Chains A and B, each alone.
Chain A
Amino acid sequence: MVIPKLAFRNIWGAGLRTWLNVVALSFSFVAIIFLQGLYNGMNNQMEKATADAQYGGGQYWQSSYDPYDPLTLNEAHGVIPDDLLKLVDDKKAVPILIRQATIYPNGRFQNVLLKGIPPEQVVLSVPSLFLKTDEETIPALIGNRMAKSTGLKEGDYITVRWRDTNGTFDANEVKIVKVMKTNVPEIDNAQLWIPLDKMRIMTEMPNEATMIVLEKDSQFNKSIANWEYKDLDFLMRDLKALFLTKSIGGSIFYLVLLFLAMLAIFDTQILSIFRRKKEMGTLMALGMTRSKLIQLFTLEGAIHAVLAAVVAALYGIPLLTWVATNGYGLPEATDSYGFALGNRIFPSYTAGLVVGTTLLVLIVTTIVSFLPTRKIAKLKPTDALRGKLT
């Protein structure tokens, strides 16, 4: 127990020098955990927002439907089967009918997806209730990105042209009744939401839908003819791929921060060994072996990391908790990034992240503390006493 005792004595005795190192290292702890928490929070938020507004708890697709192939939309519709219809009636699922259409904003034309949704639905976080009007005109809901790109605003009328079930073109005016603010670009960009019953009349597709979105946490996954069940893992795979790409970027940040912290420790150790060579000579003259000296200096480095973890906890826990509660504000421009990000990100710190980061920093710090001390193994006591490094 002599080495830990001496290490603590040296660290405590070094006073301000120790605390400067400790505080600098503690910044790394907090920064690493904060950044990783931010990534986790961002992923969780994107996943939740996308599920809430787009995927629900899974979907049934009409067998011809392929979201990546717009040409399939002509055929991608069918009468809702009884099993699914019961869920729709119980408000445990919502049918959506999708057709290609063209709009003509400001003298231009633009291809859009015309989406019919029941105004009273409660499964998705789309504010569809705005579509419930008594007016003769067709009410339409668009997202803020769509409004920005087309120049449309609430109260505007816009001509829409579509094909009915027989392929015959038809056109009408729709009124923008609401520009919804949404974090999910997939329900916003180039999309026009109208009431399902009106769309069924417009397209001559009574009782039909392109997809049925199940409510969150739905366990319903029965196999139904001409309809394909898609679970959340399938629906979220693009998002998960995006997370993976981001997590590689995040890992690079993580490693850079870790590297900076280790550089600080390595530098401190080198400086310490350089400055304290006469002290090392004295310790050797007093009977300390080289291996004990190496242990002492390595332990001193490692204790820096332990103290840094404690200091980081002292200011980091309140700070990170506050950020997790109040969120981290994002600039307006992030709205156009194509991710389902809100105005604020709420970081999410898991126990694994905190404990894992702490342990990793402790282990790496100990290794990095040890590396420069190998110089001591070659140190001659007489040279050390003269203040020389051999």
Chain B
Amino acid sequence: MENSVLIKLENLVKEYPIGNTKIKALDDVDLTFVKGEFTGVVGPSGSGKTTMLNIIGSLDSPTTGSASVLGKKVEKLSHKQSAALRNKHLGFIFQTYNLLPVYTVFENVEFPLLLLGISAQERRNMVMRTLEWVHLADRAKSKPNQLSGGQSQRVAIARAIVKKPEIVLADEPTANLDAENSHNILKIMENLNRELGTTFLFSTHDEKVIQYLRRKITLMDGKVFKDEIINHKG
């Protein structure tokens, strides 16, 4: 069981200086995530959801405590090692999609593969296969400004999963989407989780997302308030 642990947070504390005082965004968080989880971190704004995801994604480092991702201590990684971890093993999905505006859909999805140095032919196959998963193969040549919000988020999902990372971190992925698009997105992510075994970790306060989760962690003022396994009917 210990072998399948992907993320381990121990006594994690993150403080931000605000003027002369310090605000604790995370306060002594202890959590473990195993392979194949479909987990949501919920809580009100300012509860520390995004900060936790940023630390797991090695975009930020803890003030004290430890965050171990795929056996690597995030706080001890250099900038280059952090970039390598993100490049090879992590996928990110953002609330505002963060697509590269001058690239086409194909080029956006292809981007992580370019950084990995994958050959052109293989890149093409991987991108097209991923776009088919998110039902956007026919929009490969479109630019982000020609897409709807739902389509843009599907491109962001494709970009996050195209390299088949072990972990996908999604920060409020449905916050800008209507109900129908939110459900579509979540179904796609759920399928990917089942078919590829990718671990999904969301930060959200969207009820639509919560009903898909298999584990729900509630944060309050930077502390873990509740950590529950959800058993869906059927």
Contacts and interface: CB of A to CB of B under 8 A. Distances in A.
B102 A382 contact: no
Nearest to B89: A287
B83 A289 contact: yes
B70 to A, nearest CB: 14
B150 to A, nearest CB: 19
A285 B57 contact: yes
A278 B88 CA distance: 21
B115 A10 contact: no
Interface stretch (B31-39, B106-114, B207-215): B106-114
A289 B98 contact: no
Chain A residues touching B, range: 20 to 34
A284 interface: yes
A287 B100 contact: no
Given A9-B107, A13-B103, 14 more contacts: A2-B115, A13-B102, A282-B100, A284-B83, A285-B86, A285-B98, A286-B112, A287-B84, A287-B87, A287-B115, A289-B80, A290-B79, A291-B80, A385-B98
Interface in A343-390: 380-382, 385
Nearest to A293: B83
- Residue of B54, B84, B100, B101 with most chain A CB atoms under a 10 A cut-off: B100
Contacts of A13: 101-103
A279 interface: yes
B60 interface: yes
Contacts of B54: 381-382
16 contacts: A5-B114, A6-B114, A9-B103, A279-B100, A282-B98, A285-B57, A285-B86, A286-B92, A286-B112, A287-B88, A287-B112, A288-B87, A291-B80, A380-B60, A382-B54, A385-B94
A109 to B, nearest CB: 79
Contacts of B94: 282, 285, 385
Interface of A: 2, 5-6, 9-10, 12-15, 278-279, 281-291, 380-382, 385
Contacts of A279: 98, 100-101
A169 B83 CA distance: 98
B234 interface: no
Nearest to B159: A286
B17 interface: no
Contacts of A289: 79-80, 83
A288 B103 contact: no
A14 B100 CA distance: 11
Contacts of A285: 57, 59, 86, 92, 94, 98
A24 to B, nearest CB: 20
A274 B213 CA distance: 38
Interface string B40-60: 000000000000001001011
A2 B115 CA distance: 7
A285 to B, nearest CB: 5
B117 interface: yes
Given A382-B60, A385-B98, A2 B103 contact: no
- Residue of A285, A291, A382 with most chain B CB atoms under a 10 A cut-off: A285
Contacts of B79: 289-290
A286 B115 contact: yes
Contacts of B103: 9, 13
- In the A-B complex, list the 3 residue pairs whose CB atoms are closest, starting with the nearest: A287-B87, A13-B102, A282-B98
Nearest to A6: B114
A384 B88 CA distance: 21
B60 A9 contact: no
Interface string B56-71: 0101100000000000
Contact of A286 (B80, B86, B102, B117): B86
Nearest to B98: A282
A284 to B, nearest CB: 7
Contacts of B92: 285-286
Contacts of A2: 114-115, 117
Contacts of B100: 279, 282-283
A15 B143 CA distance: 13
